[in-house]
Amino acid sequence: MNAGVFGELLGREKRRSQPAVSMPGVGREMSYQDFITTAYKSGNVLRYLGLNSDATLAVEPVFRPEPLLAFLGAAQLGARVTFDPEASARVRLVSVESESAFLDSAGRLAVFGGSPTATATTHWEQEVWSENPAFPPSEIDPGTTVLVDGDDHYSHRQLLWVAHQLLEELELTTGSRLAITTPLSRPETLGGLAAALEGAATAVFVPDLTQSVEIEAALVAEYDPAFDHPQVVAETLLETA
């Protein structure tokens, strides 16, 4: 695995029609072309909202593409991301259903999944759609914190190490479909996304393996001996990082 930071997983040469992410629960799927381009746009919107390498983005951990794209946008800026929407942050991104709960919070507020009710709230999809579909190169140290999970801080290097282990242990290749069942807030989940992007696979986000989805491997929270495809248990994987 050659990538040192998340932005290096989003090279223009990777843009193609193959699905990058799939979220069967909400009927959403994005090609590498759309996913990478929208990640660029997300970074530009977050920069406009005031996010930079000294700031934190707080995201509501909903199984939709928008939180993942916001994470990648922030990572390209060298910013920190927490999936605790109530944490202190310069920019906050939540679902439109949660807007009213955060109207009095400090920092800039953006919502996805519909139009906001407050004029000061940013309509995420609208701003992303209208943004520049390119992102200027940025120098980010691999040791920079990219994820905050409670009291734990994880760097680009640590999460991409997890991705490297997944690529090796699950033998992900072009076209593989990796089921990711762990919460968006967990470092293993983002390591799984990175593994899929690096291996030209498809990251399939499902809350558990009871859903009928076509996959070749899985990143799970608990080992299931009945599952007939290769799987890696998230907690065990992270302990060795």
Count of domains for the chain: 1
| Residue 234 maps to a domain | yes
Question: What tens digit of pLDDT does each residue of 120-133 get?
Answer: 999 999 999 999 88
| Residue 147 maps to a domain | yes
Q: H-type helices in the chain, by residue range? A: 32-48, 65-77, 124-130, 156-170, 187-198, 234-239
| Residue 1 maps to a domain | no
| Residue 140 maps to a domain | yes
HSE-up (13 A, CA, CB side) for residue 231: 22
122-131, 154-163, 170-179: least confident range:
170-179
| Residue 190 maps to a domain | yes
| Residue 111 maps to a domain | yes
List of long-range contacts for 34-37, beta carbons under 8 Å, 24+ apart: 35/65, 35/69, 36/10, 36/11, 36/12, 37/133
| Residue 52 maps to a domain | yes
pTM: 0.94
Longest dimension (CA), the chain: 51
| Confidence check: pLDDT of 194 > 60 | yes
- Distance between CA atoms of 87 and 101, rounded to whole angstroms? 13
Range of the domain at 159: 6-239
For 184-199, the three-class secondary structure string (H helix, E strand, C coil) is: CCCHHHHHHHHHHHHC
Q: pLDDT tier at 241 (50, 70, 90 boundaries)?
A: low
What are the φ/ψ torsions at residue 4 (nearest 5 degrees)?
-105, -25
| Residue 37 maps to a domain | yes
User: What is the domain-level CATH number for residue 107?
Assistant: 3.40.50.12780
